[in-house]
Structure 1
Amino acid sequence: MAHFGAICPAYFTGHLNTMLPLAQELKRRGHRVTLIGIIDAEAKTVAGLEFLTFGKEEFPQGAMTEALNYLSKLSGLAAYSYVVNLLKKEANALLRDGLESIKNAGVDALLVDQVSVGGGTIADLLDIPLITICSSLISHPSHSVPPKYTNWKYNPTWWGKLRNQVGYAFYGRVTKPMIDVVVEYRRQWNLPLYSHPNDAYSQLAQITHQPPELEFPRENLPEWFHFTGPFHYSGTRKPVPFPWDKLTGKPLIYASLGTLVNSQVDVFDKIATACEGLDAQLVISLGGSATPESLPNLPGNPLVVEYAPQLELLQKVTLTITHAGMNTTLECLNNAVPMVAIPIAFEQPGIAARIAWSGAGETIPLKRLTVPRLRKAISQVLTKPSYKQNALRLQEAIKRAGGVTRAADIIERAVSTGKPVLTGTI
């Protein structure tokens, strides 16, 4: 049995909720799994998994709570730049502190989130297998596909590809400080420098929890790239109380802006106003950004909670109004729930563009959000059968993809053979 180290920005719920079920599945199969992260992430680690900390200098106890509170008030490029700086600091701490700790812990292989840019360098130096886990949209640059941080539609024309190329160049400049940290350590350790962004990813297996039906047509993905569908399941989530007795039995509209950039009280007000008068009940989850008591009285008297048991609630939902975070999007599709997306930051615009492209929902950019636009989109998704039909189509695609079981099969084969696991072989 192997000892896996799992590296991800565990203070981001979406990334953690992808890695934990995978870690739990490997542990169930008899492997040892250690989550590797900053000290504030330890409390989020589920029972049965070990934890190895690094970066206490940059990230002392409580530092990430303060950082995430600040982040929750940002949107767009400001939020993206702030997270790049956090990931830069984390990469430096991981490469400075984590190497000896991981070596001393006897880790045999690393599962590394695609945004944890230092993990691949540690695997190279220790000469242990690396598996890349894509917990958000696929990051691999491709001129056939718009950068994931944009809401651009898929456009395979020459000018569409040129636009994409310019977009990748822009975001490459934004992320350069983070990449420079890795370059400097690779120089110090006499490791080959990366010649392409994709070089930082595994040459054995790269796994995304997207189904392929939620991705634009892509060119030049590695032969060892796998679409397995979602990993998450409720066993890795803490129970959340919810006033089930207050549900009226009417069609349920669920609104959530996630747990990061979610301090958008005006957006919640617009959502409530747009839903007022519909023959439906609106449930709003604040994602910890505020308490229900702190909000002004919202139109239509929606049911407002600080957190919602999302996996259980989605089994009853007719429509979700979402920030288009990857986990919420996949959880909606796993329950065949169509969406209206209001992307705020990070890769959310790209996910929202794919929701619209797949036919499973509509999207409204945050800067263009008005009550009339939102009401029109909600009414359209509620009344036009094609949205539900496409959500059902993606639900079936997720069932076929194999999920966490197939992902673990791929990982085990890659580590046991030391050879690339090619697409279609598992």
Structure 2
Amino acid sequence: MRFLFCSLGTPGFLYPSIALARAIEARGHEVAFVTAMGAASLLEEHGLKRLPRGPKDGESFQVENWWLAPAVSLQARHIEHALTLFSPDALVGQMLTLGGHIMAERAQIPVAVLGQAAYLWPSWEGEWPQEEGVATNGSVGTLGPCSGVRSTRVRSTAEERMSWRYQEMATWYQRARERLGLPEIVAHPRETPLLGDLFLLRSVPELEGDLSALPSRVHAIGACLWEPAEAPADIVDWLERAHAEHLPVIYVQHGRSFDQPGFWTALVEALRHEPLRVIASVGRMDAEMGDIPDNFLVRPHVPQALALRHAQAVIASGNSTVALGALTSGLPSLHIPGGSEQPDVAERCAAAGASLLLPPAHLSPEALRNALRTLLADPAPRASAHALQRAFAKHADLAHACACLERLAVTRAPVLRGHLAHDALT
């Protein structure tokens, strides 16, 4: 079977797709990629191929503009050209590769969606409560029910966030469809085309919770982590010296803050005089760095697996990559979430007992310092992280994800939970 992976070009999106591509390839299938031009050399180094955007290659699948209708059109054009070079049995996209959804519909090819470490769309049954000012008669931006009746159900903060996020995505998707001459779609969020025919959630039930509450196309597949093997000499030397000094190492990954204040300034003030070492990856940080204390090692990129092998705890925004890295390493975390999926992932980790959550509104150097001291002294978060580490280890080979993809390619129909168990019995 053949699978065409459609991925944004940044590591947070590309690396999980590479993990899944390598796993499905190891089962005897063929894979190819459509992604940003800058990813070509990395893919080639690891025996994978990127297909060009056209006879004259060009950029597409860039994270900076993924939601804009012209950018979605470029994604679709890239996939359309790739289909002339590689005939896939299924597409494997991501939540932000809307061009994959469009081309799957146009070319009548099934599509799987590789998600994040938390389910991010509304999942409640029945009438979906629309946002104020959003039409319910099928106008652009509506992928919810079109009955025109508003629910009186009171929503939690998390549900409000999911509803807002879904409406934003629905609006961008409908604008892209309109640009490409496709009709509007009206569907309940549990049946939205944004789920694809198969949705691969990078989690386990022990973290996400009751999977039966989610749409039946959602499957928990494990962490789906991958990164190039790297061991820069200066970082290795710094980590070895920290170990020799018997000082705890804290791995910090400061991602984008979006519309929230970052935590870098508070972190520096909180930990500059603490008896520990901080190794920080700040390539995606959208804040000023300022002075760097003597007990900090700061780099645009720190190989995550290398840092986690030496760390005693993690401080991060809560993006999927670092949260899953901490859990699969059995490390407790302190999450200070910004935007995107970060609040949802941070809430899942805190609810599972493997992390502490410090809301940006409560952030101060003292609050951060006290939270980290608690994290290091209290055995409970570490024990919970170890339990989740064992749960994720059961899915390390991505066998369930691969079996789902194989079923999708064969049946060319939605893959629902329970299908694979039924197949095994027949």
* TM-score bucket of the superposed structures, by smaller chain: 0.7 to 0.9
Q: Deviation string for 1:182-210 (max 9, x for gaps)?
A: 43267x35x78342344314665321111
1:316 equivalent to 2:310? Answer yes
Aligned-residue identity in percent: 23
Aligned mate of 2:352, from 352, 358, 368:
358
Q: Which residue of 2 aligns with 1:193?
A: 185
1:94–1:307 distance in 2 versus 1, CA, 3 Å: closer
Give the unaligned 5+ runs of structure 2: 130-151, 422-426
Instruction: For residue 329 of structure 1, report the CA deviation from its aligned partner.
Output: 0.4
Are the equivalent residues in 2 in contact too, given 1:23–1:33 (CA < 8 A)? yes
Letter in 1 for 2:200: I
Q: Please list, as runs of the form range in 1=range in 2, the aligned pairs for 1:149-228 lying within 5 A after superposition.
A: 161=155, 166-184=160-178, 188=181, 193-197=185-189, 198-201=191-194, 204-217=197-210, 220-228=213-221
Does structure 1 conserve the Cα–Cα contact (< 8 Å) formed by 2:7 and 2:35?
A: yes
Question: Contact 1:320–1:332 at 8 Å: present in 2 too?
Answer: yes
Identify which range, 28-37 or 176-185, moves more after superposition.
176-185
Question: Is the Cα–Cα contact under 8 Å of residues 114 and 139 in structure 1 kept in the other structure?
Answer: no
RMSD over equivalenced CA pairs, Å: 3.6
Residue 142 (str. 1) matches residue 123 (str. 2): yes
Q: 1:301 aligns with which of 288, 295, 304?
A: 295
Q: Matched residues in 2 for 1:323 and 1:128: separation?
A: 36
Unaligned runs of 5+ in 1: 69-82, 148-157
**How far off its partner does 1:311 sit?**
0.6
Determine whether 1:18 maps to 2:16. Answer: yes
| Structure 1 residue 398 corresponds to structure 2 residue 379 | no
- Cα distance change on mapping 1:26 and 1:395 into 2, 3 Å: same
- Structure with the bigger RCO (C-alpha within 8 Å, sep 6+) is 1
Q: How far apart, in 2, do the equivalents of 1:338 and 1:253 lie?
A: 10
Instruction: Report the equivalent of 1:229.
Output: 222
Change (3 A) 1:377 1:300: farther
Post-superposition offset of 1:31: 2.0
Match of 1:129 in 2: 110
* SS of 1:278 mapped into structure 2: coil
In structure 2, what is the equivalent of residue 153 of structure 1?
A: none
Match of 1:285 in 2: 281
Offset of residue 55 of structure 1? 8.8
- Establish whether residue 334 from structure 1 lines up as the match of residue 328 from structure 2: yes
Which residue of 24, 29, 50 maps to 2:27?
A: 29
Residue deviations 1:51-105, cap 9 Å, x none? 1243999x956995xx85xxxxxxxxxxxxxx6645x443122234532432443
Choose 48-57 or 20-29, whichever is displaced more. Answer: 48-57
Question: Secondary structure at 1:229's aligned position in 2?
Answer: coil
Deviation per residue, 1:257-310 (Å, 9 max, x gap): 14x559x997334213322443322222223669xxx95443453222332121
Partner SS state of residue 110, structure 1? strand
Counterpart position of 1:9? 8
1:410 maps to amino acid: C
**How many residue pairs get matched?**
388
Aligned to 1:102: 83
- Cα distance change of structure 1 residues 410 and 316 upon mapping to structure 2, 3 Å threshold: same
How far is 1:338 from its partner?
A: 0.3
Q: Quick check: 1:229–1:398 contact (8 Å CA) kept in 2? A: yes
| 2:237 aligned to which of 231, 239, 245 | 245
Distance 1:382 1:208, change over 3 A: same
Structure 1 residue 142 displacement after superposition: 1.9
Q: Summarize deviations over 1:323-350 as a string: whole Å, max 9, x none.
A: 1110110010001000011112211111
2:43 counterpart of 1:45:
yes
